Amino acid sequence: MVFGFLRGEFIDVISWTDDTRDTMVWRFERRDNAIKYGAKLTVREGQAAVFINEGQLADVFGPGLYELQTNNMPIMTTLQHWDHGFSSPFKCEIYFINTTRFNNFKWGTQNPIMCRDPEFGPVRIRAFGTYSLRVADPAVFMKEIVGTDGEFTSDEITAQIRNVIVQQMSQALAKSGIPVLDMAANTIDLAKLVSTAIAPTITNYGLTLPEFYIENISLPDEVEKVLDKRTSMGLAGDLNKYMQFNAAEGLAQPNSAMGATMGAAMGAGMGFNMGNQGPWGAQPAAAAPAAPPPPPVAKQWHVADNGVTKGPFGEADLAGLVSSGGLTRGTMVWTAGQDGWKAAGDSELSRLFAAMPPPPPPPVPGQ
């Protein structure tokens, strides 16, 4: 790092070269801050030089070679009340600002973000990624962030930027409405939303984030375990297949508790099967006799008698009525499944009358 040096008796050269990777601002040190009129100021690409006069920002110089005279320092000239040709030294603080890109800063959520998922309900998720940083407005950066820090590094600002990112990230994830399982496919869109949301705050610091990436969005470990179990069940298809799947896993690991249990169960099953084998090998088990079908349900009949419904009666009861004359072929009857009331002789009960003997012959006269 070159702090500035004196070449010859009358030429003052002010410059800064940085061999670090994290220095954003460095103050040019000079005894009593005395800068000679006509001094040479070298500002390299990726740098800016800010002049502070009596605590007030005076001038900002971009890349180039400058001879500090009245004609190219209008603000400083006004502050110092120089006349043209005035060659006395003036007191001024000079800060060199690195305007190149600082890369590979990391951000992440320290605590899970609570979101409402349309499939799983309330869930907690984590997110992390990287971003790059660059000074866009040296004057604003000096006023809002650096102040009088003589050597300002990137570590002094990254914590604040990370807080801004996490706050906006939490809001973006909570409002996105994207299902948790689909967030991995939408990290680019989410990154754009977050980058746009934090831009106004970062601009107020005189900074910009040229790149912002979301590397991963994940669920807490305990939630991922439950999700993995649910995925396994989905692959199994149903509970029986899932049990078979777990049993196969247990057999694949004979030293595990599940493997020992399943091995014992299979051994017991094999012993039972061997007990059913005769000297000539396995004997088929005798088929159990088929159970008889249930008896048919007897129909129940209703009888209309002078506008009054009587019953229900079984066919045995109706057969007795036929024998006693209480039920004739013209008597109206009804049962479930029959289309309205019908005469008994025109219904299924007609068979009861076929078994009845014909009426007796009339008596013979004189007998």
pLDDT recorded at residue 86: 46
pLDDT recorded at residue 169: 87
pLDDT recorded at residue 9: 38
Spell out a b/e string for 134-150, using b for 16 or more CB atoms within 10 Å of the CB, else e. bbbbbebbbeebbeeee
pLDDT recorded at residue 138: 95
Strand 102-108, strand 93-98: pairing: unpaired
Long-range contacts of 351-356 (CB under 8 A, 24+ apart): 352/315, 352/318, 352/319, 352/322, 352/327, 353/322, 353/329, 356/322, 356/323
Give 119-139 pLDDT, tens digit per residue: 778 888 889 999 999 999 999
Q: CB of 247 within 8 A of CB of 260?
A: no
Q: CB of 218 within 8 A of CB of 125?
A: yes
**pLDDT tens for the 367 residues of the chain, in order:** 444 433 333 457 889 998 888 999 999 887 766 777 778 899 999 999 999 887 888 889 999 998 887 656 655 555 555 444 445 566 788 999 999 999 999 999 888 888 888 877 888 888 999 999 999 999 999 999 998 888 999 999 999 999 999 988 888 888 877 888 888 888 898 899 899 999 999 999 999 999 999 998 888 777 778 777 777 666 555 566 666 666 776 666 656 555 555 555 455 544 544 445 544 444 555 666 777 777 667 788 888 888 788 878 888 888 888 888 788 888 888 888 788 888 888 887 787 777 666 666 777 776 5
Residue 47: alpha-carbon gap to chain centroid = 43
Let me know the angle formed at the C-alpha of 186 by 181 and 191, rounded to the nearest 5 degrees. Answer: 130
pLDDT recorded at residue 1: 42
Q: What are phi and psi of 91, to 5 degrees?
A: -100, 125
Give 140-166 pLDDT, tens digit per residue: 999 999 988 889 999 999 999 999 999
Q: What is each CA distance from 364 to 115, 357, 361, in whole angstroms? A: 108, 20, 9
Alpha-helix residue ranges (DSSP H) falling in the chain = 74-80, 138-141, 155-176, 187-204, 221-236, 239-252, 257-275, 315-324, 350-354
**Side-by-side strand order, sheet with 301-305:** 308-313, 301-305, 332-335, 342-343
Q: How far apart (Å, rounded) are the C-alpha atoms in residues 269 and 265?
A: 6
pLDDT recorded at residue 71: 59
Q: What are phi and psi of 104, to 5 degrees?
A: 60, 45
- Evaluate whether the domain defined by 102-223 bears CATH number 3.30.479.30: yes
Where are the chain's structural domains?
A: 5-97, 102-223, 301-354
pLDDT recorded at residue 106: 94
What architecture (CATH level 2) is domain 301-354?
2-Layer Sandwich (3.30)
pLDDT recorded at residue 339: 80
The predicted model scores a pTM of: 0.56
Q: Which two tokens stand for residue 103?
A: 């890369």
The amino acid present at 24, given as its one-letter code, is M
Element of type H or E holding 90: strand 90-91
How far the first Cα of the chain sits from its last, in Å, is 159
DSSP bridge pairs for 49: 61, 96
The amino acid present at 97, given as its one-letter code, is I
Spell out a b/e string for 266-302, using b for 16 or more CB atoms within 10 Å of the CB, else e. eeeeeeeeeeeeeeeeeeeeeeeeeeeeeeeeeeebb
Strand 93-98, strand 11-14: pairing: unpaired
